């Protein structure tokens, strides 16, 4: 390959990685309730699988709006720097994430801070020259719940059996969402599980389906 062609390829990869990193960062629009901007980061047929939701981006936006207008919680996502792999018009990214949720729960009711450590595992596609997210899966690592007022205790109103089958990696997050009236989904993917391995293997096969050799990401 000529030097000029190599330089052009490296530039194209760097620009693609920049665009993908920007897409992942824009999930912060969720916390700001900027729904149109959030929708624009996903393809219309994109899907999401997280602790409390599994479905299309349109359905996710509708359910997120309901939670936001309920006034029952405050939500903040701290989004890390994505690690990106690119092959032609497809890409994968994995991003460290901290989910911070404040809810009022229990009997007697008290404000509680729930903190969840997780990762976003995303598929991206470039269609007509534009990158967007086509699939998002959350991988959960650990979480905790802390009363805002020191010296008080968190007393969930959920029956103990309501949490049957919920992995300990996101048990507090799931409890908080169920206290808010959300239906618990089938177990989400947790770190180090066989489900995580299958997710990654399927994604690598999907990425390798593009024409040519798998190209690693480059730093920009």
Closest CA to 96 of 78, 113, 114, 84: 78
Q: How much is the pLDDT for 23?
A: 96
Are the C-beta atoms of 118 and 78 separated by less than 8 Å?
no
Q: What mean pLDDT comes out for the span 25-40? A: 97
Distance CA 39, CA 128 (A): 18
And the tokens for 88? 């032609």
Is pLDDT at 217 greater than 60 in this prediction? Answer: no
Read out DSSP for 154-214?
----S-GGGGTT--GGGHHHHHHHHHTTPPPPSPPEETTSHHHHHHHHHHHHHHHTSSS--
Mean pLDDT of the chain: 90
Are the C-beta atoms of 93 and 42 separated by less than 8 Å?
no
Question: Which residue pairs from 66-74 have beta carbons closer than 8 angstroms and sit at least 24 positions apart in sequence?
Answer: 67/180, 67/182, 68/33, 70/180, 72/103, 72/104, 72/180, 73/101, 73/102, 73/103, 73/176, 73/180, 74/101, 74/102
Distance CA 40, CA 206 (A): 23
Partners of residue 112 on adjacent β-strands: 103, 147
Answer left, alpha or beta for residue 25, where phi above 0 means left and psi between -120 and 50 means alpha: alpha
Is pLDDT at 81 greater than 60 in this prediction? Answer: yes
pTM of the predicted structure, to 2 decimals: 0.89
Domains of the chain: 3-208 (3.10.450.50)
Q: 115-173 pLDDT, tens per residue?
A: 999 999 999 999 999 999 999 999 999 999 999 998 888 888 888 788 888 999 999 99
Answer left, alpha or beta for residue 128, where phi above 0 means left and psi between -120 and 50 means alpha: left
Residue 80's contacts (CB-CB under 8 Å, 6 or more residues apart) are 95, 96, 97
Using a pLDDT cut of 90, give the percent of the chain over it: 71
Read off the pLDDT band of 6 (50, 70, 90): low
Is pLDDT at 17 greater than 50 in this prediction? Answer: yes
Read off the pLDDT band of 215 (50, 70, 90): very low
β pairing state of 54-56 and 42-49 = antiparallel
Q: How much is the pLDDT for 7?
A: 64
């Amino acid at each position: 390959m000529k030097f000029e062609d190599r330089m052009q390829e490296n530039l194209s990869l760097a620009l693609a990685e920049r665009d993908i990193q920007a897409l992942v960062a824009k999930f912060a629009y969720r916390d700001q309730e900027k729904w149109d901007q959030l929708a624009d980061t996903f393809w219309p047929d994109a899907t999401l699988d997280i602790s409390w939701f599994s479905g299309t981006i349109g359905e996710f936006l509708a359910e997120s709006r309901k939670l936001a207008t309920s006034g029952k919680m405050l939500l903040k996502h701290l989004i890390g720097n994505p690690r990106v792999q690119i092959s032609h018009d497809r890409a994968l990214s994995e991003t460290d994430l901290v989910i911070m949720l404040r809810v009022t729960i229990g009997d007697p009711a008290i404000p509680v801070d729930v903190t969840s450590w997780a990762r976003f595992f995303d598929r991206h596609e470039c269609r007509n020259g534009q990158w967007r997210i086509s699939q998002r899966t959350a991988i959960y690592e650990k979480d905790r719940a802390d009363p805002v007022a020191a010296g008080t205790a968190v007393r969930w109103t959920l029956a103990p059996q309501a949490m049957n089958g919920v992995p300990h990696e996101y048990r507090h997050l799931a409890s908080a969402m169920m206290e808010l009236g959300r239906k618990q989904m089938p177990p989400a993917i947790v770190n180090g599980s066989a489900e995580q391995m299958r997710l990654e293997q399927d994604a690598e096969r999907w990425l390798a389906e593009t024409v040519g050799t798998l190209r690693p990401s480059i730093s920009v």
